[in-house]
Structure 1
């Protein structure tokens, strides 16, 4: 029997993961199983899914790692109602109350404190109780720090033998970021960035001021920024809110003071201009920190993790810095990836295993033909079994149909990569409005992304500086070649960039589909967006897929070798 290490994260976007030797055989986030977007709390269903995948009992696990034991996180473990209330308010499921302003000040002040002996002790008691209730026993429990877990995912999954590692997010365990050197399998800390000045919190404030949901809609802010004319840095008042000082950030404001000052600025500008100035601030100040870190360490290969690096325009900016040779962004860069990071850290300390290569991200649950067929019969769906799903799907796409595509194991992380996807032609701009209004039901300015054959990337994109090997999973923006924009009109942003998924041999059926597209259009590229309605988690099970299918205007759903058709469309 393989020796598995179980990783756990019970905060925002909770989840669990298994690490075994040099591989990550399974990872899933709780939202996919409870069907509550970015679920928070003890990931009971995720842990059960890990055990079911491995075919083991709780008593077979001897090493468990759970991330983050700071004071605030420990308090929400002891009083889970606090976590639930924050979840409902943040997701706009609950209206504002009289004391929300006071709660916000309390939240930012309290979460700036790091872990201590008491918080670690109480967190350990909490996990021991929860785990014993599930039948776990005789295990070693590790409590690695928040940013150490992020650093593990960045470094150990980068493919680099040595590199500079930078983590940046809102905050966790008293920090908003960290800088490390990864060499000979070891992570050596260079600097820790205190939580009291956080680039992630800065962008959270921007998201809130634009009446969007923090920790969820930051991508909308980045997209909205494309619709403004850039202003000169001398005319950007947000640049004085937060600055780079060596390997840290500094500000003349507390977290709540920064929000108040930014609120005054917000009312003087249109929303898209405010978003543009904020995006420029994030890119400029973070780039300065990276340049300083490269100069101080001499390391030119960069591995990144933490929620701030979900910002693909920032990642592009960093990858194009002349000081930087290569960049790898861990594809599950936000807190949802902490369970993987915790398990990797425990794996290194237990076995000395330093690298866990990611051959693909299809790490979630998969379903047998019988399970899918039973679901189709139970739901009285109209379906048929077909001999060549990839060709049939490609033909429908070429005929301007939008298809729902459910294949193999679910992806880990926030991006659909051809197993839980909605697919359409990439060269038809009109499909964007149809997708937004009839299927995804999201704001008009959010762009869609392409999946493309890896070998076609150099023909379609400007890849000379960024390359394609280190970031195949939609973690980086790329400029589209001017003479290829027409072939990608449905997936090109207003600024001429896109967020591509490069498809290699890891997904044979998806490659086959793209190959059929290439035979007709000259390029193996499709529009690929996640299989969900906006605000819902990506579908996981056959039942989830059917439920979402019937709630949209889509006509065709492919589930392995079965084609489901809604003939009322």
Structure 2
């Protein structure tokens, strides 16, 4: 038995993964244990979890691999500061002591941290380092169902690379082309996240969700001034508008002057139509670049499969466009496409590329639905709920599903906690908040009363795979909520001329389809197809809901409030339930009704987490 522990850490979304004989056994992000969103610290808890799950001590692990090379990253920082000198001296002075003290000597630091798990771990020759973009590419190709594929990775920046093209075949994967820092599609998108007043590295989803409320009227301004896009999709950013290479902000005054407004102060300034148009413009530019790259890759390599990874691959609207344009026959996106997935990719790269182990392709899903985190037995669930002072009934599966489906059909908001926790940023029916998609109030209520977040943010439909093409203009699996598609015309309710003229967010309250809670303002939805093989209980719940309502869809959003990581333990779930307007909570076979709970256990959740 050969075991590899993969680690990603120290930028954002630290995580750990364990492979046994090349099979993915467990993976989790550190944030779920520490309750600090995007936690970047050494993933002590995540490592403890994956080791325990695999029933192995660290000293028995064959190799430990870190997802990137610190020396190359240090070289980039030094060269960047030299190239831009004397600009950026302040951030140089801030960055260097940290690098000289900790990051440059990462092997020693990792070794010292690893010893805390197991005193008998005493061989630093077991520690390896992967390349950041190779880790991403490996996380996308090796679990994919393809023998051969083009792999496109796009993110902020790794060591030097910001966009890479690799070719995967069998157990081999080779990077063929790279675009280097400071030219980065991820950082360009993040610059606009920052400019519209959202938090970089977590607010990008908001920018994407805001885009359909606007018109891309600044598209030409972006393409004429900020970015020079070549025919093959490669690009060059004009650094005179940005500050991220050396400064402490993403954009500068020249950027503000170009668009005619300052950076939005989220605390004091409301979102306006201007911000929606800005969001629409950068979203359109991003999609255009991804389409151009995809077309040129298909032409150059003539391979019919595409894999995507890196933070930009979480832009499910762009993914949906690549799919719709039928550039490739098949597309597969790594569900943990951001840095957390680097822990998985680094381990897989070591196993297949370095050690030349054969790869067996699982046409179903070698990511196992991405349900790779902790799970709790019925006994453990009851112990945690008793400790919290919760009141609950224990109900057998069939009746539990029937009761939950009835609650949902009455427009109640339900916390759903079953099986293993998801790996990656999306809740996929393991740690989810569920609702009735036919309800006109559901999107607004879930956003404002349960999630404490902006009302414009869209929710995803979970749909039985067999009913997919009856409701949406898509016929391929989308188990990870990484594809956006339009709702079918026969389910749409057309807006009147008066409604079309409403100000951006006022359009939110207009019923646009038979399933308004999951229909975005542009008639699109971020789809999750649900499969019996990967999540039988969730599949059966949706089936039961369909029997009662003739609708094979549920609203699915992550089980957390704004600024909080997705819940991990039954205790996390109970606290979130008591701190929000959720009506019911189903954990394992425990059924909790809000009305039965002791009101003194209610938490003020609005101030519990720092807003993202």
Fold shared by both chains (TM-score > 0.5):
yes
RMSD of aligned Cα (Å): 2.5
- Number of the residue aligned with 1:478: 485
Give the Cα separation in 1 of the matches to 2:89 and 2:438: 50
Aligned-partner Cα distance in 2 for 1:377–1:101: 55
Q: Structure 1 residues 315, 355: closer, same or farther in 2, change over 3 A? A: farther
Tell me the matched-pair count: 533
Give me the whole-angstrom Cα distance separating, in 1, the residues matched to 2:154 and 2:58.
Answer: 34
1:377 is the counterpart of 2:386: yes
**Contact in 1 for aligned 2:73/2:160 (Cα 8 Å):** no
- Name 2:7's counterpart in structure 1: 8
Q: 1:530 to 1:239 in 2, by over 3 A?
A: farther
SS in structure 2 of the partner of residue 41 of structure 1: coil
How does the TM-score come out when normalised to structure 2? 0.82
Structure 1 Cα separation of the partners of residues 103 and 349 of structure 2: 17
Q: Deviation digits for residues 30-62 of structure 1, max 9, x if unmatched?
A: 000000000012111111111111111111101
Query: Match for 1:515 among 528, 543, 550?
Result: 543
Alignment correspondent of 2:251:
259
Secondary structure, aligned partner of 1:515: helix
Q: Name the CA distance, whole Å, in 1 between partners of 2:408 and 2:356.
A: 48
What is the alpha-carbon distance in structure 1 between the residues aligned to residue 295 and residue 180 of structure 2? Answer: 19
Q: 1:382 Cα shift?
A: 1.1
2:116 corresponding residue in structure 1: 133
Contact in 2 for aligned 1:191/1:247 (Cα 8 Å): no
Give the secondary structure class of the aligned counterpart of 2:415: strand
Structure 1 residues 205 and 121, CA gap change in structure 2 (3 angstroms): closer
Distance in 1 (alpha carbons) for counterparts of 2:31 and 2:283 = 28
CA distance in 2, matches of 1:405, 1:362: 14
Distance 1:72 1:415 in 2: 31
Instruction: Please say if residues 27 and 340 of structure 1, whose CA atoms lie closer than 8 Å, have aligned partners that are also in contact.
Output: yes
Q: 5 Å matches for 1:415-564?
A: 415-463=426-474, 467-469=475-477, 471-485=478-492, 486-505=513-532, 506-564=534-592
Alignment of 1:187-206 (within 5 A): 187-206=173-192
- Alpha-carbon offset, residue 459 of structure 1: 0.7
Runs of 4+ more than 4 Å apart: 71-75, 100-108, 118-121
Separation of aligned partners in 2, 1:355 and 1:150: 19
Cα contact 1:451–1:502 (8 A) shared by 2 = yes
> Relative to structure 1, is the Cα distance of residues 292 and 243 closer, same or farther in structure 2, using a 3 angstrom cutoff?
farther
- Residue 279 of structure 2 is matched in structure 1 by 275
Please list, as runs of the form range in 1=range in 2, the aligned pairs for 1:357-436 lying within 5 A after superposition: 357-387=366-396, 388-436=399-447
Match of 1:43 in 2: 43
Distance 1:538 1:325, change over 3 A: same
Residue aligning to 2:151: 165
Q: C-alpha separation between the residues in 2 aligned to 1:147 and 1:335?
A: 10
* C-alpha distance in 1 between matches for 2:92 and 2:549: 55
* Further displaced range: 304-313 or 244-253: 244-253
Cα distance in structure 2, aligned partners of 1:121 and 1:351: 29
Q: Cα gap change, 1:522/1:131 in structure 2, threshold over 3 Å: closer, same or farther?
A: same
In structure 1, how many angstroms separate the alpha carbons of the residues matched to 2:198 and 2:103? 34
Q: Return 5+ residue gaps in structure 2 as ranges.
A: 76-86, 245-249, 262-272, 493-512, 600-612
* Separation (CA, whole Å) in 2 of partners of 1:26 and 1:239: 46
Offset, 1:107: 8.8
Query: After the TM superposition, which of the residue ranges 417-426 and 355-364 deviates more from structure 2?
Result: 355-364
Summarize the alignment of residues 91-170 of structure 1 with structure 2, pairs less than 5 Å apart.
122-135=105-118, 136-138=121-123, 140-170=126-156
Deviation at 1:259, TM superposition (A): 2.5
Contact 2:71 2:104 in 1 (8 A): no
Deviation digits for residues 280-316 of structure 1, max 9, x if unmatched?
1111122212222222222231100000111111111
TM superposition shift of 1:430: 0.8
Matched residues in 1 for 2:228 and 2:70: separation? 26
CA contact (8 A) 2:233 2:290 kept: no
Deviation digits for residues 386-408 of structure 1 (CA, Å, limit 9, x no counterpart): 12221111010011111111111
Name the structure 2 match of 1:315: 319
Q: 1:105 Cα shift?
A: 7.9
Q: Which runs of 5+ in 1 are unaligned?
A: 76-99
What pairs with 1:157-236 in structure 2 (closer than 5 Å)? Answer: 157-231=143-217, 233=219, 235-236=220-221
SS of residue paired to 1:134: coil
Contact 2:72/2:160, CA 8 A, preserved across alignment: no
Helix, strand or coil for the counterpart of 1:259? coil
1:68 and 2:53 correspond = no
- Residue 508 of structure 2: aligned partner: none
Is 2:204 the partner of 1:241? no
- The answer to whether the Cα contact below 8 Å between 2:218 and 2:281 also exists between their aligned partners in 1 is no
Q: Contact 1:365 / 1:410 at 8 angstroms: preserved in 2?
A: yes
CA deviations on 1:54-105 (whole Å, 9 max, x unpaired) are: 1111111011111112358669xxxxxxxxxxxxxxxxxxxxxxxx986568
Change (3 A) 1:437 1:67: same
Contact in 1 for aligned 2:152/2:166 (Cα 8 Å): yes
Aligned to 1:172, the other structure's residue is in SS state: coil
CA distance in 1 between counterparts of 2:350 and 2:161 reads 21
After superposition, the Cα gap between the structure-2 partners of 1:509 and 1:477, relative to the gap in structure 1 and judged at 3 Å, is same
CA distance in 2, matches of 1:528, 1:107: 42
